Amino acid sequence: MKREIDFMSKSLFFIVVSLVVVTVSLVSIFVKGFNFGVEFTGGSEILLRFEGKRITESELRGILSGISEEFKTARIVRVSSMGDPADVLKYSVVVPKTYASEEKKSLQEKVESLTGGKLVSFNEITGTAAEEIRKGTWTAIVVSFIAMLFYIAIRFKFIYGVAAIIALVHDVVITLGFFSLFGYEINVAAVAALLTLIGYSINDTIVLCDRIRENAKRYRGKSMVSIVNASINEVLARTINSSLTTFMVVFVLLLFAGTVVKPFAFGMTVGVVVGTYSSLYVVSPIVARWGGR
Amino acid sequence: MRADRVRLVVVLSVLAVALVALLWPTKEGFSSKLKLGLDIKGGARIEYLVEIEREVENPSAVVDDVWTVLRNRLDAAGYTEATLKKVFRENNSYIVVEIPGVTDTAQAEALIGSTGVLYFAQVLNEYYGDDPTKIPEYVFEANREKAVWLKGRDGKWYLVRKEIMGRRDLVLEAPRILYARPEVETRVGRYGYKVSFELARDHVAVFERITRALYVPEGTYDPKKRLAIVLDDVVQFAGQVVAVITDGRAEITGNFSLQEAKDLAAILRSGALPARLVKTSAGWVAPLLGRDVVDASLKAGIIGLVLVLVYMVVYYKTMGIVADLALLYNTVLLFGVMALGRFILTLPGIAGIIFTIGTTVDGNIIIYERIKEELRTGKPVKTSIALGFERSFFTLFDANVTTILAGLVLYYFGTGTIKGFAITLIIGVMGSMFVNLVLSRVLLDALAPHIKLPRVAETQQGGGQR
């Protein structure tokens, strides 16, 4: 037998850590709020037209960022209409900000003189995702939590389900807190990251609970705390390897991926770490304390 | 040995199907097989000016309604990944439609541009099968009844007539509907949702006469006395009139799901929108993420994947190779199923794929750790493999079923992109379970002689070491 690491004796300390991080997250969420992407808030779309001049997305982004801060994370997309001549390039630049009419004028002058293009139109746009995402996603998350609670209650024990849901809420709150603290944009991909993290967290929890269930049957004489501790040790290699491999993928993405993908990679990176942590230090203490025999 | 053979055959045939689905040549080549979303590949972009009638009090509510109608139409036609933007410019409202992967905008334009007149009609007959307008006896019947065959949303064909009971004064076309909304069904013996709506005052009298003409007492059935709601030449709903509606307030019951009820309500509301859509431009849009972003992210994704593949081989040796093959197999499988089902891959979908990579690797790790545990107790390799799979079955089963459960809920309640994410999640997780339990088993059994025994087992030592 390998030497067992004693996870459970430090659980009180980690519960305090969790509570502190959750509190900080909640404070940040409510005080600082989120940096919502343009799909949620709406904003402005500027259409630029270049005749006989080749300019790439990143060149354009560079020039515009010099004019104003918000263009650093702007969405710059090439568009074209039917019947455009071959030497015409058109870009749609979208920022989560609206401008007053005087601002529009000065911006138009600056943009036209610096880029050498023509500002064709200034549109105000609504958030496309706002209606779509808000409509269903929260309901979906809550209903899926309830569904998972029931499944775990049937396959394991009710308290395991409760522990799993507490861990999920813990993970979602902390990840959202990180988004708020670091000012990462919440866009559609970030929502996808949040949903993925739920999957990861529940996976970790189930694997651990499965082992606890098995060991509780096998070692009838032992205390629940030592059973939980033994179970954590037995699945430890799996926990580390599984988390590490996923971490590799999302961390590389965080380092190298471009602007719009960054929030997704950020959410996943935080999520994998928090999800792994929560199965060890949120689920296990609850199961050890109230899991019974 | 027989179980082995079966597994091998299954694994190979599934792979063959996935590859055929992905690589079967089409005119447009590989890219048209796996459909990519707007964010990754771009697509068609059409801009419409929303022309609102002058006397309308709340124009922005009308734009919202137009938006909802278009959204429903696009969703119903399978363009769930299309985006619809409301745009304001110089005191005018525009709606910009972007449709992934479409180069020919004609079909989409037909879908959006149709003004869509809603009317009530009498159902005279129904039929399930091929286009009845090509079958002489059905055409004859339609001519005789002065009616038309229209396709229903449910896939059936309906013979409908706008003049109810053949009377000119029993026509209700483009009715103004004050409200239409889904409500929870409360009657005993029914479940789900119903739709309630109210007609504007000028239509109440004619609706009363129509419902009186088509009324059949509940519990009886008269196939020639049914009322249909027709929009865009599609029978949206057909049902019996079980009460005479005297005040213009009616209910449509049919044990609908919430989504069905919502759709039907939106269809009713869309009947007479006081607005017109004027196409102002049509063209295409580049990947919304930006081509530079897509390229950088793709590169990053591949680097990450390679790191995982290398790590698994370094840590698990022979078993790591199996895990890597399982991972690649499942990725091909996922793309194959997506191509077959004509699902569109978007950034959230890629999130689902990364999750799939995670679960596939995780599943293998769970199995290997079990096998290692069995090996440490001194069992032979073949027995350990069999036991390892047996013991980890329910771990994998529970973990994956919970994820699939969450995926199904997301699919049901989510919209657009979230649905896309849920689809890749569900396909990926099911694939990973198949790959872990079947493919990995075949490969591990085949490679059993190459699996090294852990040190503890070789020296046959029990405890206290390390």
What is B399-466 written as a DSSP string? HHHHHHHHHHHHHHH--HHHHHHHHHHHHHHHHHHHIIIIIHHHHHHHHGGGPPPPHHHHTT--SS--
Q: Are residues A154 and A201 in the same domain?
A: yes
The reply to whether residue A133 touches residue B281, judged by beta carbons under 8 angstroms, is no
Nearest-Cα residue of chain B relative to residue A188? B348
Distance (Å, rounded) from C-alpha B223 to C-alpha B124? 7
| For testing contact with chain B, the best of A252, A266, A268, A269 (most B CBs within 10 A) | A252
Distance (Å, rounded) from C-alpha B302 to C-alpha A169? 32
Per-residue pLDDT, averaged over B363-383, amounts to: 90
Q: Are residues A196 and A215 in the same domain?
A: yes
Last residue of a domain, one of A89, A104, A125: A125
Handedness of CA A99, A105, A106, A112 (dihedral sign): positive
B45 in helix, strand or coil?
strand
The reply to whether residue A256 touches residue B365, judged by beta carbons under 8 angstroms, is no
- Assign residue A63 the CATH number of its domain: 3.30.70.3220
Q: What is the pLDDT of residue B466?
A: 38
Q: Is A260 on the interface with B (CB under 8 A)?
A: yes
C-beta separation of A141 from A197 below 8 A: no
Q: What is the pLDDT of residues B243-293, one digit of tens each?
A: 888 888 888 888 888 877 877 887 777 665 667 778 887 777 777 776 777
The reply to whether residue A129 touches residue B357, judged by beta carbons under 8 angstroms, is no
Residue A128 binned pLDDT confidence (cut-offs 50, 70, 90): low
Q: Are residues A162 and A259 in the same domain?
A: yes
C-beta separation of B236 from B270 below 8 A: no
Look up residue B247 and give its two tokens.
């005040």
Residues in A touching B410 (Cβ below 8 Å)? 140, 144, 195
Spell out the domains of chain B, with CATH numbers in brackets. Answer: 2-37+289-458 (1.20.1640.10), 38-110+280-285 (3.30.70), 118-275 (3.30.1360.200)
The reply to whether residue A195 touches residue B418, judged by beta carbons under 8 angstroms, is yes
Q: Centre a 10 Å sphere on the Cβ of residue A285 and count the other Cβ atoms it contains.
A: 21
Tell me the shortest Cα–Cα distance from B289 to chain A, in angstroms: 6
Which of 188-207 (A) contact B at CB < 8 A?
188-189, 191-193, 195-196, 198-200, 202-203, 206-207
Q: Please say if the pLDDT value at position B75 is more than 80.
A: no
Last residue of a domain, one of A125, A147, A169: A125
- ipTM entry: 0.81
Q: Please say if the pLDDT value at position A165 is more than 90.
A: yes
A53 in helix, strand or coil?
coil
The reply to whether residue B347 touches residue A75, judged by beta carbons under 8 angstroms, is no
Nearest-Cα residue of chain A relative to residue B369? A238
Nearest residue, CB atoms, A136 vs list B398, B407, B418:
B418
Last residue of a domain, one of A92, A125, A158: A125
Chain pair A-B, CB pairs under 8 angstroms: 247
Q: Please say if the pLDDT value at position A56 is more than 90.
A: no
A261 part of a folded domain: yes
Tell me the shortest Cα–Cα distance from A136 to chain B, in angstroms: 5
A154 part of a folded domain: yes
Per-residue pLDDT, averaged over B9-38, amounts to: 74
Q: Are residues A27 and A145 in the same domain?
A: yes
A3 part of a folded domain: no
Residues in A touching B286 (Cβ below 8 Å)? 77-79
Q: Are residues A104 and A186 in the same domain?
A: no
Give the residue among B457, B462, B463, B460 at the shortest CA–CA distance from B381: B457
Give the residue among B84, B61, B63, B59 at the shortest CA–CA distance from B72: B84
Q: What is the pLDDT of residues B29-71, one digit of tens each?
A: 555 567 787 777 778 888 888 887 776 677 777 787 778 777 7
Per-residue pLDDT, averaged over B185-213, amounts to: 86
Q: Please say if the pLDDT value at position A19 is more than 90.
A: yes
Which of 137-166 (A) contact B at CB < 8 A?
137, 139-140, 143-144, 147-148, 151-152, 155-156
Residue B343 binned pLDDT confidence (cut-offs 50, 70, 90): confident
Percent of chain B with pLDDT over 70: 88
Q: Is A210 on the interface with B (CB under 8 A)?
A: yes
Q: What is the pLDDT of residue B26?
A: 62
Per-residue pLDDT, averaged over A224-250, amounts to: 90
Percent of chain B with pLDDT over 90: 9
Q: Are residues A170 and A94 in the same domain?
A: no
C-beta separation of A124 from A101 below 8 A: no
Q: What is the pTM of this model?
A: 0.72
Q: Are residues A189 and A258 in the same domain?
A: yes
Q: Is A223 on the interface with B (CB under 8 A)?
A: no
Q: Please say if the pLDDT value at position A27 is more than 90.
A: yes
Query: Structural domain of residue A264, as residue ranges?
Result: 8-37+129-290
A265 part of a folded domain: yes
Distance (Å, rounded) from C-alpha B338 to C-alpha B18? 9
Residue A135 binned pLDDT confidence (cut-offs 50, 70, 90): low
Q: Are residues A213 and A75 in the same domain?
A: no
A284 part of a folded domain: yes
Q: Are residues A107 and A85 in the same domain?
A: yes
The reply to whether residue B94 touches residue A123, judged by beta carbons under 8 angstroms, is yes
Burial of A160 (0-12, 13-18, 19+ CB in 10 A): buried
* C-alpha gyration radius of chain A: 25
Q: Are residues A71 and A207 in the same domain?
A: no
Q: Are residues A118 and A133 in the same domain?
A: no
Q: Are strands B157-161 and B172-173 parallel, antiparallel or unpaired?
A: unpaired
Q: Are residues A120 and A166 in the same domain?
A: no
Per-residue pLDDT, averaged over B207-233, amounts to: 84
User: Average model confidence (pLDDT) for chain B?
Assistant: 81
Residues 6 or more apart whose CB falls under 8 angstroms from that of B271 comprise B116, B117, B118, B174, B175, B176, B177, B231
Look up residue B276 and give its two tokens.
């017109």
Distance (Å, rounded) from C-alpha B271 to C-alpha B196? 15
Structurally, how many domains does chain A consist of?
Answer: 2
Q: What is the pLDDT of residues B150-172, one digit of tens each?
A: 888 778 888 888 888 888 888 88
A2 part of a folded domain: no
Q: What is the pLDDT of residue A1?
A: 47
Alpha helix stretches (DSSP H) within B134-200: 136-145
The reply to whether residue B362 touches residue A234, judged by beta carbons under 8 angstroms, is no
The reply to whether residue A261 touches residue B297, judged by beta carbons under 8 angstroms, is yes
3-state secondary structure B190-235: CCCEEEEEEECHHHHHHHHHHHHHHECCCCCCCCCCEEEEEECCEE
C-beta separation of B17 from B62 below 8 A: no
Tell me the shortest Cα–Cα distance from A102 to chain B, in angstroms: 14
A1 part of a folded domain: no
Nearest residue, CB atoms, B366 vs list A75, A77, A238:
A238
Residues 6 or more apart whose CB falls under 8 angstroms from that of B262 comprise B182
Question: Any idea what DSSP says for residue B246?
Answer: S
Residues in A touching B356 (Cβ below 8 Å)? none
Q: Is A133 on the interface with B (CB under 8 A)?
A: yes
- Assign residue A234 the CATH number of its domain: 1.20.1640.10
The reply to whether residue B466 touches residue A3, judged by beta carbons under 8 angstroms, is yes
The reply to whether residue B413 touches residue A235, judged by beta carbons under 8 angstroms, is no
